[in-house]
Chains A and B, each alone.
Chain A
Amino acid sequence: MKYAYYPGCSLRGTGRAYEESLLAVFRALDIDVEEIDDWNCCGATTYMSVDELTSYALAGRNLALAAREHSDIIAPCAACYLVLQKTQHYMREYPNIKLLVTRALSAIGLTYREQVRVRHPLDVLLNDIGLKDIGRKVKVPLNGLKIAPYYGCQIVRPYSTFDDQGDPTSMDRLLEACGAKIVRYTLKTRCCGGSQKGTLPEVGLDLIHYLLSEALKNGAEVIATVCPLCQFNLESFQKEAGDRHHPASIPVLYFSQLMALALGASGDSIGLRRGLVPIEPVLANKEIAYA
């Protein structure tokens, strides 16, 4: 089966390493993806605060474009993943929204198909490929690297059904299959503050600090994330958050970077050097001899 792939805007900016590593994981596991032709911005949480109806139409265009040839869409970004799902839910629940989106789509020659499934890479990797197959393909085991798995909010809430909403474990299991050790991380679905670091900076820094210090307290050597905004927040403001509270510094990677390393990808091809807190010393210390 070929999946439609919806990268979203962040994966072309701050989240480039997410896309590079995710595509490397897909290649290593023979997952066939095709980028949605001429996709547009999902609207994220921000558009919803200005004009809700328009944001459904924007998401509808992506759903309709994908549905022309595919039955499943992979959306790695948390905001994209949520907005696409929310649009589907609202079109089912509110006839007026359905009418509005259907009309808008037909104005540009597109048809809305309800059946298309919005999937997160964690879901696809775990349920379509499976831990056994992934484990078999591991070339460079992660040698017990201690990882705090951070899911953030919008992957698991409110609509997704592939994992628990309060205590998800899909990323834990995938990384364990690659030889990592998952540390206890009770804040795994607590909010990172989203765009608050930009809008209400003090509050944003507090939330970021709780997440960093909890990971360090539990012995983590790296935090693994699934969302471009979470990754950006946790990595970019460690000094500021430390100045406000107490110092806390730890590399923050995408889960897909860690998986890609284990599956044999080279560090350069998956954006390892794009990180602001270097991971290389940690990997060397664990004697993980990646390419």
Chain B
Amino acid sequence: MDLKRTVKFEADRDPEFARWVSQTVGGERIRHCLQCGLCSGKCPLSLYMDYTPRRLMHLSREGFKEEVLGSTSIWLCTACYACMVECPKEINITHLLYALKRRAIEEGRYPRRFAIPIMARQFSQMVRGSGRITESWLIMQVFLRSAIWRLLGMSRLGLKLLRRGRMPLKRERIQRRAEISALLDSVEATRKELAL
């Protein structure tokens, strides 16, 4: 029998994580959370989550880093903003969820070949290189790196879209691509200077 303690102790908290949450973009007002649960009620994905948005808000502000960054909730959030516009305390819940997702990606807390971080990485690389996204290439790259067997299942849909002119294979590119690199370089420089 695999028995585990079901109640969390205060000693399990990570005060550093709690501090980070309350200072990150989106988390500033988290101390005001009433635990009313409107966010969980409005969330179309809460039915699938291990920690509903209300619970996630509480765990985050108290510093239960393991539970928060290990939860399925941060990957299920689609950023539909249903929670955020309802929050009576005007907490930027969706923006905080983004921050938690970024933190989990940074710390590598996801299963191998998990499609969401792969998609995020491929997407940003394509924007860096071309300035625009070519959907057909992005989809192929994501499936090649995450679930190659699903490419086969997708190929029928791909062909249908191709025949209807909706899957152009020609790469979309902007003309002044040097501007994108200059833009990104400048962001990096400011980020370092201001320690953002």
Contact = CB atoms under 8 A, between A and B. Distances in A.
Contacts of A54: 124, 184, 187
A48 B98 contact: yes
A51 interface: yes
What 10 A-B pairs have minimum CB-CB distances, sorted nearest first? Answer: A153-B80, A157-B81, A191-B80, A13-B135, A104-B186, A107-B186, A9-B133, A199-B115, A194-B78, A40-B131
Interface in B149-165: 150, 157, 160-161, 164-165
Nearest to B179: A108
Contacts, number: 179
B102 A193 contact: no
Contacts of B79: 45, 48, 153-154, 194
A203 interface: yes
A198 B115 contact: yes
B139 interface: yes
Contacts of B184: 54, 57, 104
B121 to A, nearest CB: 7
B157 A13 contact: no
- Determine the interface band of chain B, counting residues with CB < 8 A from chain A: 35 or more
Given A57-B183, A104-B190, A198-B119, A274 B166 contact: yes
A41 B78 contact: no
B44 A207 contact: yes
B127 A47 contact: yes
B4 to A, nearest CB: 26
B185 interface: yes
Interface in B136-189: 136, 139, 142-143, 150, 157, 160-161, 164-168, 172, 174-176, 179-180, 182-187, 189
Contacts of A1: none
Interface of A: 9-10, 12-17, 38-41, 43-54, 57-58, 61, 90, 94, 96, 99-100, 103-105, 107-108, 152-154, 157-158, 165-166, 189-191, 193-196, 198-201, 203, 207, 236, 273-276
Contact of B131 (A13, A14, A17, A41): A41
B191 A193 contact: no
B81 A96 contact: no
23 contacts: A9-B133, A9-B134, A13-B166, A13-B168, A14-B161, A43-B127, A48-B79, A49-B102, A49-B105, A50-B121, A51-B102, A58-B183, A104-B190, A153-B78, A154-B80, A154-B81, A157-B82, A190-B44, A191-B80, A195-B78, A196-B76, A198-B119, A207-B44
B51 interface: no
A23 B182 CA distance: 33
Nearest to A45: B79
A198 B140 CA distance: 11
Given A16-B166, A154-B81, A195 B119 contact: yes
Interface string B50-93: 00000000000000000000000001101111101100000000
B36 interface: no
Contacts of B186: 57, 103-104, 107
Between B80, B121, B135, the greatest number of chain A beta carbons within 10 A of the residue's beta carbon is seen for: B80
B187 A96 contact: no
A153 B81 contact: yes
A189 B135 CA distance: 25
A50 B119 CA distance: 10
A199 B114 CA distance: 8
